[in-house]
Every structure is written in structure tokens, then in C-alpha cells.
Chain A
Amino acid sequence: MTELPPLGVVLLVVWGTITALDLVSVPQGLLSRPLVAGAVAGWLAGDLEAGLRVGVLFECFALDVLPIGAVRYPDYGPATVVAATLAAGAPWEFGLGVGAALGLVLSIVGGWSMQVVRRWNARAIQQRSAALAAGEGGAIRLLQYGGLLRDALRGAALTAVGLAVASVVELHLSLDRRTAAGLSLVAIGGALSAAVSGAARSAGRGARLRWLLGGAGVGLLLAVLG
């Protein structure tokens, strides 16, 4: 983790908040995708390479998520921001695993926190049900802005707590290079398993599966030649 000035920390918390908001509330413009969240966080933390590596890793996990209906899933936006910040400044082979471990825990906490916000939203609506039944426009706006504020606070808290934990980990956890590289290999293996599982599940047994296998063949060829 690189030494960050206070402004850098503030910018990372703001970016984490934006990614948390983007996932469900507003604007759902893919800013919360780990590839985007990680690259920007790495750039803000002064290590774009680490941010990109963490972003690609978490993007593989995100490929295992199909956010349909009321399904529950991890929140990878703030998690990727924190993981990229923790991984920054070290050779990526050694920083990736530790960053991923913290980020994955944070993604689970993030997913749980979304459920809490949704319950709070429901409670706020129940409290204003009389105003809604009377068709008061002011009540609708108040509920909407309240929901957005709750989600923004969730994202800010998640990122700030994550960054605080990351600084504690950086200070007190010292791993030998073999263990750090081993953690990275486990994280990469887990990410690849997530990507393959998600791709296979979405592909089913029809034309999409054939195209998936075709794409994998071309990708394998390019990877070998590269």
C-alpha cells in the first residue's frame, strides 16, 4: 500500500461511494464494474498496474453474478477500490493475494449492507404510506432522496472502513514472499473458477455454449502465441 495524502484518501472514499451508488441506485453506468473501479482506484493510489490487476481479478468474480430480480450478490465496487489500494506499491505478484483477501471479505459485507439499506427503504416507505396513499409528490421525492442518501452513506462507510482495515493490515501483517505469491495464486485460481462457472451457467446448452467454446479456443490460441 502506498503512502497516501489525506486528499488521496478522500478521493478514494468518494470513488468508492460512487461505485457503490452505481451498482443499483444511480446511474447504473458500469462504474461499479471491478475493471473500472480497480483501474481508477489504482490510478488514485499511484499504481495503475496494481489497480488494473485487481480490477481484472475481481471482474472474473463479478462474471459469476447475474443480478436478476431480488437475487442477493456481493458488492464488488468499494471492495475493489480497497483491494486495489492495498495492493498498490508492491510488485503485483505479491500484493494481489492480500488485496484480494481483504476485498473479497469486504464484498460479502457490502452485499449484506445492501440488504440492510433495502430494509431501511421499506421501513421509510411504511412510515410515509399515508402520504403515498394521498398521492403527495413531496413524499415520493423525500423517499427517493432518502434512499439515495442511505446507499451513498453505505458506500462511503464501506470504503472508509475498508481503507482503515487495509492500513492496519499493511502495518501489522508481514508475509514472506512465498506465502504472498501463494495467496495471489489461490486468488487467481478462485477468480478463474468464478469466471468459468458464470460463463458456463449463462451459456446453457444451446448456441451460446458453442460460441463460448469457440471464443475460448481463440483465446487459448492467442494466450499461447502471446
Chain B
Amino acid sequence: MTGGWRALLRLLAIQGTWNYERMLGVGMGYAAEPLLEDLKTVDPVRHGEAVVRSTEFFNCNPNLAGLALGATARAEYEAVPGDQIARLRTALCSPLGALGDELFWAGMVPALVGAALAAAVLGAGWWAIVGLLATYNLFRLGTGVWALRTGYKAGMSVGSAIGASWVPRAVARIGPVAGFTVGLAIPLVAGWFLRGFGWPGGLGSVALAAVGVAVTRWFGPWLTSVRFTLLGIALLLLFRSVGL
């Protein structure tokens, strides 16, 4: 695979031109450029068509985009008809989006952030932050290398390669881990903050949190937790200004 490492680096900026029309499309085209370079000398017409196809609408989780990129690049070299490649791209959007979001945004990120929060409030300081960054980025970059290689190796049969891979199993396992670490972190964070204010202040803050959970559920999505907090701050300033 020529240009694999350059494509991998460019995948890190795949959302650089994110927009509501093509979403990741132009970013995919940017990452595809090094992979398609050899095609320029072999078949310049096909290369031009492949570049155009690579910038069309595409959306998925950025960390698994390498699977689609590798697969479509391979298909271009194998001279698969253009409409089939376009259909493959479209078909990959939903599964790569769902799997990647579950694995990363709903799994790895909260799992590691929960662990880092717990470690930070227990006194780990910088180590908590270094651990968070190192673990996540090693996992993410490793996944990126695997995705690009697997996609390129599988070509048009990338769907079966994804189904047989470690990703669906990891998605099933990471959720409970994320639940545990976030659950662990919340009381620790509450104790870390509220210990300095004594019982009345602490209880008041916890009561406010309970009210916040309830009202943001009832009045969401308009009343987000950020808006609820800002409303609370504004009311407090108002009450204090009139001497309450």
C-alpha cells in the first residue's frame, strides 16, 4: 500500500472541512490522495474519477474512517465499477458511524475520562492526565493503523471483515467499563469539591444537582445542564443583590 502512512496522518485531520453538506467528504478526499497516487501513472482517467468519488458525501466515526478509505482505494485499483464503489461508501456510513461512536464516544472516552477523574481527585495529578492521553492516543492510533490496513486488504468485502473483527466484541465490552468508571468518579468528584464547604453547603449543592437532573430531563433539550447552571448563577446573583 503506497502512501499508507501519509494517508494515516491525513486521517487525523479528516474532519478539518466538516460541514452539513458533504460532512467528512472533502476530508476523505484529502486522506485518499496519497493512496491513489500510483493510479495516476497506471490509469490517469480512472485516477481523476477516483479523486472525484473520494470527495463525495461521507460520514462515519473519524477513528474508523480508515476502513472505508482503505476499502475504496483498493476497489479503485481493482477497477471495480464506480457506481459499486459509491454504493459501498454509502453502505459503510451507518455501520462505521454506529460502531465507532459506541466504541469511542460512548465507550473508550467516558471509560478513560471517568478513570482519569477518579485518579485526579484521589491525588494522581499530572499522572492522571498523562495516563488519559497516552492510553487513548495509543488505542486510537493503533485502531487507525488496523482500520486502514484491514480496509485495504478486504476491498469490497470489508463488511465481512468488520463483522469478523474485534470491533463488535470490544463495543459490547467497553460499555460496562465506561459505566463503572464514570459511576466511580461522580461521588469521588462530589466529595472532593464539597468537603471544603461543610455540611450545609454540600447538601445544598447535592440538592441542586438532584433538581438539575430532574428539570433537565423534563425540559430538555431546551434546558441543558449548562443553561440550568447559568440560570442558577443568575438567580443567586439576583437574590444576593437584593440582600437575601
Q: Which residues of A contact B (CB under 8 A)?
A: 24-31, 33, 35-36, 39, 48, 52-53, 55-57, 59-64, 66-70, 74, 92-93, 97, 100-101, 104-105, 107-108, 118-119, 121-122, 124-126, 132-137, 140-141, 143-148, 151, 178-179, 181-200, 202-203, 207-220, 222-224, 226
Given contacts A29-B133, A36-B132, A144-B27, whether A193 and B210 have CB atoms under 8 Å apart is yes
Q: How many A-B residue pairs have CB under 8 A?
A: 313
Could you say which residues of chain A place their CB within 8 Å of the CB of B216? 193-194, 197
Query: Interface with A: B78-86, B116-124, B156-164, which one?
Result: B116-124
Could you say which residues of chain A place their CB within 8 Å of the CB of B225? 61, 64, 190-191, 193-194, 197
Whole-angstrom CA separation of A93 from B197 in the bound complex: 8
The reply to whether A192 and B233 form a contact with Cβ atoms under 8 Å apart is no
Could you say which residues of chain B place their CB within 8 Å of the CB of A197? 212-213, 216-217, 225
**Could you say which of A147, A193, A219 contacts B16, with CB atoms under 8 Å apart?**
A147
**Could you say which of A93, A133, A140 contacts B196, with CB atoms under 8 Å apart?**
A93
**Could you say which of A55, A62, A118 contacts B18, with CB atoms under 8 Å apart?**
A118
Could you say which residues of chain A place their CB within 8 Å of the CB of B181? 215
**Can you sample 18 A-B contacts with CB below 8 Å?**
A27-B12, A27-B13, A28-B15, A33-B132, A35-B116, A107-B226, A125-B21, A125-B22, A140-B30, A186-B205, A188-B194, A191-B229, A193-B213, A195-B189, A199-B110, A203-B179, A211-B177, A219-B186
Task: Output the residue of B55, B122, B226 with the most chain A CB within 10 A.
Answer: B226
Instruction: Name the CB-closest residue of A to B177.
Output: A211
Could you say which residues of chain A place their CB within 8 Å of the CB of B230? 101, 104-105
The reply to whether B30 and A141 form a contact with Cβ atoms under 8 Å apart is yes
The reply to whether A195 and B186 form a contact with Cβ atoms under 8 Å apart is yes
